[in-house]
Amino acid sequence: MPELPEVETIAARLRLGSGDAPPLLGKTITRARLLWERTLVTPGAEEFLARITNQRFREVGRRGKFLIFTLSPDSLLLHLRMSGDIWLEPQTTEVAKHHRLLLELDDGWRLAFNDARKFGRLWLVADPATVLKDLGPEPLDAGFRPNEFYRRLHASRRQLKPLLLDQSFLAGLGNIYTDEALHMAGLHPCTLSDATSLAQAQKLWHSIQEVVREGIRRNGASIDWVYRGGDFQNHFRVYQRTGQPCPVCGTPIQRKVVGQRGTHICPLCQPEPGEG
DNA sequence: CACGAGACCTGTTCGC
DNA sequence: TGCGAACAGGTCTCGT
């Protein structure tokens, strides 16, 4: 489920509260329950449970696809991977099948991490930078500029799609937003990064900005049974639209595999590189 | 350095 | 209806 816009939406809802749930900020953890140990990267389970108890939520943030809970004095980092989600629920709620971590709070609510596929990962650390140090720039950061993007595209020779998915190149894009951005830019996912012109790189930069902003504005995308609350899935241009018409030219969207990921393109708007 | 295969997991959907 | 294959918003490690 979660790429940058989904994680941003989750962070905002936890921070501010949503529906019946109150804001998370200011609550203190009275008890932690780890239901699937492998979710935890560091420290060990015993130390984790002891150390997180009595810490207070001071901020909820995001970096790339990581959720960052600033506690006192530690930080809890969470990566939702493929099927993770996290929300507040009353402590009286029955523990759902795929809950992996419960953080009981001092006001009767609990923070519940739910993750069917068990790919999600947790870190409790003194310094978030130890986990986040290899991440590339934030797409919406004011310091992320088109010319620098062009320079870095040309610093390696890789297919655009796998490069955009590489979190050390750019933080936050996943399969949906990469396919959407490449389509908007009119670039084939197999185009070699150092073969892009300055104009193409600038167009791709703008497309990334636009797609990510639209995703956030629509509270992310809700697909399948995993994530609910977003609307962006109703506005996909190519993602999971195999056989349906391209919104630009009407040509049926094709699905292929690029870098071992399902990839959706318009064969007319995104011509194969090389022959052109 | 760049790429592909396999691993980690469970659930849903599709084809026969 | 049943059953296996394919597929899923991600990332890591290993071999070439």
Residue A261 scores a pLDDT above 90? yes
Question: Is the shortest CB-to-strand distance from A1 to strand C under 7 Å?
Answer: yes
Classified by CATH at the fold level, domain A146-265 comes out as: Helicase, Ruva Protein; domain 3 (1.10.8)
pLDDT tens-digit readout, A199-218: 999 999 999 999 999 999 99
- Nearest protein residue to nucleotide C12, judged by CA and C1' positions: A119
Which of these is catalytic: A218, A255, A261, A273?
A: A261
* Residues in a beta bridge with A62: A67
Tokens of A232: 């962006």
Nucleotides of chain C touched by protein CB (<7 A): 7-12
Global model pTM greater than 0.85? yes
Q: For chain A, state the CA radius of gyration.
A: 20
The pLDDT value given to residue A54: 98
Q: Would you state the pLDDT for residue A229?
A: 82
pLDDT above 90 covers what percent of chain A? 96
Q: Which residue carries 């990469």 as its tokens?
A: A178
User: Where exactly are the structural domains of chain A?
Assistant: 4-132, 146-265
pLDDT digits (tens, 9 = 90+) for A125-180: 999 999 999 999 999 999 999 999 999 999 999 999 999 999 999 999 999 999 99
Residues A5 and A33: their CA atoms lie apart, in Å, by 28
CA atoms of A169 and A97, how far apart (whole Å): 36
Mean pLDDT of A35-57: 98
What pLDDT shows up at residue A276?
Answer: 43
In the predicted model, is pLDDT for residue A275 greater than 60?
no
Residue–nucleotide distance: A41 CA to B8 C1' (Å): 14
Q: How many helices (H) and strands (E) does chain A have?
A: 7, 11
CATH superfamily of A4-132: MutM-like, N-terminal (3.20.190.10)
